[in-house]
Structure 1
Amino acid sequence: MSPETLTLDELVFEVRRSDRRRTLEVSVGRQGELRVYAPALTGTDELAAWVGRKLLWVHQKLALKQDMATPAMPPDFATGEVFSYLGRSYRLKLVDRQRRALDFDGDSFLLRREARERAAQHFRAWYRRHGLPWVRDRIELLAPRVGASPREVVVRDLGYRWGSCSRSGRIAIHWKTLQLPVRLIDYVIVHELAHLAEARHSGEFWARVERALPDWAERREELAGIAGSYLRVGEPRG
């Protein structure tokens, strides 16, 4: 039996119904696959109208995935190249001598010249090392507003995801997220904190997000609109 589908704006969504589900949800998969999850008795017209209101978000998600998947010229790691941290841009300087392969003096990134060949790895390690305590501090600030706290916090590579949470209570933040402005990182953190209490994007989930960030919708739209191009500015690759 062929799966049920819904076509809107030249996009084809696979519809998955369940007797146990009480809310509607749309998802964009890693490869761009589109799915709508719905209660078993949801009418086709109601489903189409609801998905129609989500089309802007869906198109933004698809555009972001395409942009991030598009091959980009890797950085040269040359003096003057720009890298971002917490929404601010900092130039790179090659230096002949310093203790660490990559350092940061508050104004510039400093890369030891002989370490240039492995610069991408050094940048990833730097974001993880410096990002983790910063993320922990932000979570300590935001968790009481959401009403949920993680058991563990990590910073690592998450593919296309800004953040994730596990059933065990661990929150993971992508190291690339640390390049974004603080207001957008806060949205990512709050989103994952809310998931600790509510697995799905239910009314209670969004109520928790709104208690922490009343302008969450504006932040989400801003994140979807700028993220792809923002993360490609001086993005460490390799």
Structure 2
Amino acid sequence: MTTSVQQAIAALPVPREWLWDVVVRPRRRTLGIEVASDGGVLFAVPADADPVAVADAVRSRLPRLAREVRRRQGRPAEPVKDLIGGTSFSYLGRRHRLKVIPAGPAALSGEERRVRLYRGWLESPRAGTTGEEARRITEWYMACGNRWLSARMPSLASRIGVAPGPVGARDLGRRWGAREQDGSISVHWALMQLPPALVDLVLVHELCHLREAGHGAAFRREVQLALPGADALERWFADEEPHLWRGAVRPR
């Protein structure tokens, strides 16, 4: 099956310089296309995929896929933070400067170790390593994200007419959002750095997958109905997401 699908895609006007592959994922019901950070393309197909149907679907998406590949190939290096006083961190589109709290005799208490927003500063107690400090900050993003997402989800789900499971922020690797088999939805914690409208875009994307599994015309209609300005938001998101901090820090 994989070979026949590869042959069908190879017969399309796919640019020769592209690095692409086909993988069979038995749980999939429709074609999935994943573009890696370096511009490589992965076509994920069901076990019973029809090569002709897959080729037709890929052909219809080639212009948009080409734009995404070019964007990924030209994206900047992943941001790396210096965990020193004054370093900028964003939460829901607002920037906050880092205030490093020196370790002291009370540093073993839970309250002393807590990262928090306080009077416009992101306070982070000093830890033994920058890796530990980065972990605490990412956990803060997850905790704040879980609360914000849980409060935001009902209105978006009602707009689309779906009943999702729980929603939460976690590390999704190279993905920004995920819809699980039980209907729960996850978004990458790094998205909590973005303005709310762009977080909504990812949430709506995943919620619309509860109605349409693929990314075809029916799915696009669902997204446009839920977010009439989705095209402009997607362009904005494409500009912003390469600059999101994912937890990389410089050692002291």
Coarse TM-score class (shorter-chain normalised): 0.7 to 0.9
1:141 aligns with 2:151: no
Distance 1:28 1:113, change over 3 A: closer
Structure 1 runs of 4+ off > 6 angstroms? Answer: 36-39, 42-47
Aligned mate of 1:104, from 101, 107, 117: 117
Report what 2:180 is aligned to: 166
Write the mapping of 1:48-197 to structure 2, written as runs, cut at 5 A. 50-64=61-75, 67-68=77-78, 74-96=80-102, 99-101=111-113, 102-114=115-127, 117=130, 118-197=132-211
In the alignment, is the contact (CA less than 8 A) between 1:156 and 1:173 conserved in 2?
Answer: yes
Distance 1:227 1:47, change over 3 A: closer
Q: Which of the pair is proportionally richer in strand? A: 1
Question: Displacement, 1:176?
Answer: 0.6
1:205 aligns with 2:193: no
Distance 1:131 1:49, change over 3 A: closer
Question: Displacement, 1:182?
Answer: 1.2
Question: Displacement, 1:28?
Answer: 2.1
Gaps of 5+ in 1: 17-22
Gaps of 5+ in 2: 24-29
Report what 1:10 is aligned to: 17
Cα distance in structure 2, aligned partners of 1:185 and 1:211:
17
- Kindly, what percent of the aligned residue pairs are identical? 31
Cα distance in structure 2, aligned partners of 1:211 and 1:144:
12
Report what 1:19 is aligned to: none
TM-score (norm 2): 0.75
- Give the match's secondary structure for 2:209: helix
Distance 1:52 1:203, change over 3 A: closer
Supply the RMSD in Å over aligned alpha carbons.
3.4
- Give the match's secondary structure for 2:100: strand
Amino acid at match of 1:104: L
In the alignment, is the contact (CA less than 8 A) between 2:31 and 2:43 conserved in 1?
Answer: no
In the alignment, is the contact (CA less than 8 A) between 2:165 and 2:183 conserved in 1?
Answer: yes
Amino acid at match of 1:28: V
In the alignment, is the contact (CA less than 8 A) between 1:26 and 1:51 conserved in 2?
Answer: no
TM-score (norm 1): 0.79
Once the two structures are superposed, residues 66-91 of structure 1 have per-residue CA deviations (whole angstroms, 9 ceiling, x without a partner) of 744xxx5x433111111111111110
